[in-house]
Amino acid sequence: MGSKLTSRKADYSKWYNEIVVTADLAENSAVRGCMIIKPYGYAIWEKMQAELDKMFKATGHENAYFPLFVPKSLFEAEEKNAEGFAKECAVVTHYRLKNDEKNPGKLMVDPAAKLEEELVVRPTSEAVIWNTYKSWIQSYRDLPILINQWANVVRWEMRTRLFLRTAEFLWQEGHTAHATRAEALEETKLMNQVYADFVQNYMAIPVIQGTKTASERFAGAEETYCIEALMQDGKALQAGTSHFLGQNFAKAFDVKYATSEGGLEYVWATSWGVSTRLIGALIMTHSDDNGLVLPPNLAPIQVVIIPIYKGEEQQILIAEAAEKIKLSLESKNIRVKFDNRDKFKPGFKFNEYELKGVPLRIAIGPKDLENGTLEIARRDTLSKTVVSQDKIVDFVQEQLKQMQGDLFDNALKFREENITEVNDFEEFKHVIEGQGGFVSAHWDGTNESEEAIKKATKATIRCIPLNNVEEEGKCVFSGKPSIQRVLFAKAY
Amino acid sequence: MGSKLTSRKADYSKWYNEIVVTADLAENSAVRGCMIIKPYGYAIWEKMQAELDKMFKATGHENAYFPLFVPKSLFEAEEKNAEGFAKECAVVTHYRLKNDEKNPGKLMVDPAAKLEEELVVRPTSEAVIWNTYKSWIQSYRDLPILINQWANVVRWEMRTRLFLRTAEFLWQEGHTAHATRAEALEETKLMNQVYADFVQNYMAIPVIQGTKTASERFAGAEETYCIEALMQDGKALQAGTSHFLGQNFAKAFDVKYATSEGGLEYVWATSWGVSTRLIGALIMTHSDDNGLVLPPNLAPIQVVIIPIYKGEEQQILIAEAAEKIKLSLESKNIRVKFDNRDKFKPGFKFNEYELKGVPLRIAIGPKDLENGTLEIARRDTLSKTVVSQDKIVDFVQEQLKQMQGDLFDNALKFREENITEVNDFEEFKHVIEGQGGFVSAHWDGTNESEEAIKKATKATIRCIPLNNVEEEGKCVFSGKPSIQRVLFAKAY
């Protein structure tokens, strides 16, 4: 504590890593690319899980749990999916260690315990789940199946960053089965909307909903819907995806259902997921050079009360008043911490909770006791207000609400200022290299132009926005005819 | 549906498997020894998680998340722990698959992607966590650390059974670090008490608290506390364990703290866990030949309402009344399902919810509409009562409470009837082979006698009960002097 963070301007990436570690959110582990999510970081994830879980259940989904391991023969059944994940998966080949006789006290893989078939640690669960749905689905009466799973998954990424890209991460994955194409498409869109609602209303992050181009789609999907957010450094971040899988997995695993008319049809599928990566988006949308800034709706601690006193007598009187305030706030379901630790000075605590992004800080000292007042500081604006103790509950409620709204509004304003319409490729490169942000430009719809743009600028097509206005134009790269603008950006 | 379960008397083991599958709790997967927890089974686990999580937090613990993988060098650091788990662990040796050129469309492990150091899929997380605590703990100010993790773990068991013993299972594992031996011991006992409270008050399963003998201890523990339950077939089941780890892991990972007096000491540790195995205990304690019986405190559905009607007009009127009852019950936080599916007959539904162990079933038909009544059936006693609609909320609340208590009382009575004091080995064998249950007998405290008894009878020492009365006697096997009786049983 006490040491300052690197500023965002000086080194955004370094600033990010420092926040994650100094705010006690997560740290690297002894396992390459795997992180340890510390209690404070995990408490944020728990809040996110709780809200998402409610939303999933309110839309008719149930939770279940499927195995961590995917036998290689199932893994390879849906070819595109397998191809997409084969290069980055952890493979279990043995089921036993034995004493290493050459190195006493050490263990070695027991060659006699080689598995007949290798097991892939799930990078995603379509294969294992569709292999199961095969036996769950016989007729239209068994549909739809609306299941979600909270789980860990492993993708052997070469370059990892805390929360944003880790070899193991936590996520939820929805896997649904439907009788018709239309119903599956509706589900895909519904869940993308659920994600948008969650990210905007709880995380205070504005998102653009859209679909991915063929090259950016989930391996095995016919269409990928997504929500895209913009970080402070002008790079985009894919915050959630919802996939329309068509009948690809049903065909790969031979999942058919008897229709009400007596026919036999392949089942239609969707899958959708968000992960601990969202915590990275949360940090990079709201935080500042003083540390983390958390939206009240997700903050594990919404209000911290810090006593300021000299001597034990004062401490006792102030603690009494503070406990009373704590109780009155808690009666309104506000999450409050009273930090009465004697071994740390108020200044140290101020710094700690600023770094940890606690939305509101109440300081209470001897003068406040005399005057019946309190000092309240807001984390986002750093503004301080002296408030009468008997008005504190209303004031806190209003400030939390205000702060939640302000964070969203500021992020939205930033994003709006950072969507640039461009019409030629020089300008495109200029914006991408300079200001960054989303570039709205015409694209001819071909993979060739998309690839060439990516190669030249590192910008990818983040999405084709939903409800895009059709507009005749010329591809910013090839000059060929185009019917709409799409959003480009460099991305996390 | 409709087909009868095997009776418990005919084949207890078969009955158990049939309940798990027909009540839609879980099923085997394509992965050897790994199960799929179906939505209804998972909903029970979610209720258990929610209650346990509250109890952990109320006792000062926070959740966090540590990596799935343990590098072999960390795994082998605490020798006894490593030895205990080495023979049954899944090992990741490679991080990539590639196209198998000899078999188009198939994949193979890429030999070029061999890991420098193998990764063990965690069978338990002491190693990875204590390697982390090393950097979290410098001084007495950093203690205690009170952390819990909800996670999946893998133990490559050769003989697996749904819920009871699976290669992958879900659990929680608490890992705490303390400045003193006394504080760590107190934590160990506290968490064993928390488990006892949960299992007794929510699962309605009476347990005996005790400690394990040296041979039954957790690998790496100095003392293992446990809660032991008795199943209907007379076999015991270890429902939870809480380990006092002494300084074993602190020494293995060199975790020392500066004391307030300026010294440097090794840290004291505990770990404790319960798993999805508890669902097996739940089934085998309360269920009957008609199917599952769930204690109301954990039942995902506490009350099901089934309409009985002929024709659409009746259906509409009855649905209206049923919805009203549902709302009035829900206003008291009772979990209610109104099953208005038209494609299934009432008898089919009765059977389904009986099989699924829903505590109370309300049937409402045209006569009930006329008379302002309802028929309520209790799952455990199968008794039916006609109740006035305006008394339904009170009646249901009282019945749920009554049933929760009755299930516990019946299980307790069964257990008390199945603890037999024996004083010679012939009687010991006779009871173990016949009635089963717990046998309370003198033991000389040696591993030799314990092993010999196990070899002769398959019974193990389940625990040395806490607050055991000291009583001079002679070991039931060796005849050597003994100071107390211990509990033997065959066990799951």
B299 to B202, B402, B405: CA distances (angstroms): 10, 14, 14
Q: How far is A471 from chain B (nearest CA, A)?
A: 42
Closest CA to A53 of A194, A219, A252: A194
- How does strand B91-94 pair with strand B481-482? unpaired
CATH of domain B303-399: 3.40.50.800
CB atoms within 10 A of CB A390: 10
For A141, nearest residue in chain B (alpha carbons): B343
- The dihedral through the CA atoms of B444, B446, B450, B451 has a sign that is negative
Q: How far is CA A136 from CA A151, B1, B357, in A?
A: 21, 14, 21
3-state secondary structure chain A: CCCCCCCCCCCHHHHHHHHHHHCCCEEECCCCCCEEECHHHHHHHHHHHHHHHHHHHHCCCEECECCCEEEHHHHCCCHHHHHHHHCCCCEEEECCEEECCCCCCCEEECHHHEEEEEEEECCCCHHHHHHHHHHHCCEHHHCCEEEEEEEEEECCCCCCECCCECCEEEEEEEEEEECCHHHHHHHHHHHHHHHHHHHHHCCCCCCEEEECCHHHCCCCCCEEEEEEEECCCCCEEEEEEEEEEECHHHHHCCCEEECCCCCEEECEEEEEEEECHHHHHHHHHHCECCECCCCCCCCCCCEEEEECCCHHHHHHHHHHHHHHHHHHHHCCCCCEEECCCCCCCHHHHHHHHHHCCCCEEEEECHHHHHHCEEEEEECCCCCEEEEEHHHHHHHHHHHHHHHHHHHHHHHHHHHHHCEEECCCHHHHHHHHHCCCCEEEEECCCCHHHHHHHHHHHCCEEEEEECCCCCCCEECCCCCCEECCEEEEECEC
Q: Are A276 and A169 a contacting pair, CB within 8 Å?
A: yes
Q: Give the residue carrying structure tokens 């591809």.
A: A475
Q: Please list, in sequence order, all residues whose beta carbon lies within 8 angstroms of the beta carbon of residue A467, skipping any fewer than 6 positions away.
A: none
Dihedral through CA B238, CA B243, CA B249, CA B255, nearest 10? 150
Cis peptide before B144 (omega within 30 of 0): yes
Set of chain A residues whose Cβ sits within 8 Å of the Cβ of B132: 29-30, 36
Residue B30 is encoded by which pair of tokens? 């394509």
Topology of domain B12-70+123-286, CATH: BirA Bifunctional Protein; domain 2 (3.30.930)
pLDDT the model gives residue A2:
47
Alpha-carbon distance of A359 to A396, in angstroms, equals: 10
Minimum-distance CB partner of B42 among A36, A65, A99: A65
First to last CA, chain B: 29
Say what the pLDDT of residue B1 is.
44
Q: What is the 3-state secondary structure (H, E, C) of chain B?
A: CCCCCCCCCCCHHHHHHHHHHHCCCEEECCCCCCEEECHHHHHHHHHHHHHHHHHHHHCCCEECECCCEEEHHHHCCCHHHHHHHHCCCCEEEECCEEECCCCCCCEEECHHHEEEEEEEECCCCHHHHHHHHHHHCCEHHHCCEEEEEEEEEECCCCCCECCCECCEEEEEEEEEEECCHHHHHHHHHHHHHHHHHHHHHCCCCCCEEEECCHHHCCCCCCEEEEEEEECCCCCEEEEEEEEEEECHHHHHCCCEEECCCCCEEECEEEEEEEECHHHHHHHHHHCECCECCCCCCCCCCCEEEEECCCHHHHHHHHHHHHHHHHHHHHCCCCCEEECCCCCCCHHHHHHHHHHCCCCEEEEECHHHHHHCEEEEEECCCCCEEEEEHHHHHHHHHHHHHHHHHHHHHHHHHHHHHCEEECCCHHHHHHHHHCCCCEEEEECCCCHHHHHHHHHHHCCEEEEEECCCCCCCEECCCCCCEECCEEEEECEC
Residue of A nearest to B90 (CA): A95
Tokens of A382: 């750093």
* Cα nearest neighbour of A108 on chain B: B72
Query: Are the Cβ atoms of B89 and A106 closer than 8 angstroms?
Result: no
CATH architecture assigned to A303-398 = 3-Layer(aba) Sandwich (3.40)
Q: Which residues of B touch A65 (CB under 8 A)?
A: 36-37, 42, 45, 170
The pLDDT of residue A1 is: 44
Per-residue pLDDT of chain B (492 residues; tens, 9 = 90+): 445 899 999 999 999 999 999 999 999 999 999 999 999 999 999 999 999 999 999 999 999 999 999 999 999 999 999 999 999 999 999 999 999 999 998 999 999 999 999 999 999 999 999 999 999 999 999 999 999 999 999 999 889 999 999 999 999 999 999 999 999 999 999 999 999 999 999 999 999 999 999 999 999 999 999 999 999 999 999 999 999 999 999 999 999 999 999 999 999 999 999 999 999 999 999 999 999 999 999 999 999 999 999 999 999 999 999 999 999 999 999 999 999 999 899 999 999 999 999 999 999 999 999 999 999 999 999 999 999 999 999 999 999 999 999 999 999 999 999 999 999 999 999 999 999 999 999 999 999 999 999 999 999 999 999 989 889 999 999 999 999 999 999 999
- pLDDT the model gives residue A416: 98
**Which chain A residues have a beta carbon less than 8 Å from that of B118?**
109
Contact B31 A132 (CB under 8 A): no
Residue B476 in contact with residue B424, Cβ under 8 Å? yes
Find the radius of gyration of the CA atoms of chain A: 26
Give the distance from residue A421's alpha carbon to the nearest chain B alpha carbon, in angstroms.
41
Supply the pLDDT for residue B3.
Answer: 59
Q: Do residue B156 and residue A96 have CB atoms under 8 angstroms apart?
A: yes
Chain B residues in contact with A39 by the CB 8 A cut-off are 62-64, 147
Show which of residues 92-111 on chain B sit within 8 Å of chain A, judged by CB atoms. 92-99, 105-107, 109
Q: What is the CATH number of domain B419-489?
A: 3.30.110.30
* CATH fold group of domain A12-89+124-286: BirA Bifunctional Protein; domain 2 (3.30.930)
Residue whose token pair is 């975790």: B255
Residues 6 or more apart in contact with residue A186 via CB below 8 angstroms: none
Interface contact A105-B69, CB threshold 8 A: no
Domain boundaries, chain A: 12-89+124-286, 303-398, 419-489
Question: Which residues have a Cβ under 8 Å from the Cβ of A324 and sit 6 or more positions away?
Answer: none
- Asked if A68 and B34 come within 8 Å (Cβ–Cβ), the reply is yes
Across the interface, whether the CB atoms of A63 and B76 are under 8 A apart is answered no
Compute the distance between CA of residue A470 and CA of residue A39 in angstroms, rounded to an integer: 48
- Which chain B residues are Cβ-neighbours of A70 within 8 angstroms? 31
Structure tokens at A188: 């895909």
CA–CA dist B231, B454 (Å, integer): 19
For residue A91, give the nearest of B66, B109, B156 by CB distance: B109
**Under 8 Å CB-to-CB from B346, ≥6 apart: which residues?**
B306, B307, B308, B363
Across the interface, do B107 and A71 touch by the CB < 8 Å criterion? no
* Paired sense of beta strands A62-63 and A145-154, if any: parallel
Q: Which of B462, B424, B463 is nearest to B441 (CA)?
A: B424
Q: Does A75 touch chain B (CB under 8 A)?
A: yes
Cα-trace Rg, chain B: 26
Decide if B151 touches A, using CB distance below 8 A. yes
Q: At what angle do helices B79-86 and B126-136 cross, to 10 degrees?
A: 150
Any idea which residue has 């939640």 for tokens? A404
| Residuewise pLDDT in 10s, chain A (492 residues) | 445 899 999 999 999 999 999 999 999 999 999 999 999 999 999 999 999 999 999 999 999 999 999 999 999 999 999 999 999 999 999 999 999 999 998 999 999 999 999 999 999 999 999 999 999 999 999 999 999 999 999 999 889 999 999 999 999 999 999 999 999 999 999 999 999 999 999 999 999 999 999 999 999 999 999 999 999 999 999 999 999 999 999 999 999 999 999 999 999 999 999 999 999 999 999 999 999 999 999 999 999 999 999 999 999 999 999 999 999 999 999 999 999 999 899 999 999 999 999 999 999 999 999 999 999 999 999 999 999 999 999 999 999 999 999 999 999 999 999 999 999 999 999 999 999 999 999 999 999 999 999 999 999 999 999 989 889 999 999 999 999 999 999 999
Q: What is the pLDDT of residue B331?
A: 98
Q: Residue A3 has what pLDDT? A: 59
Q: Which residue has the tokens 């461009």?
A: A422
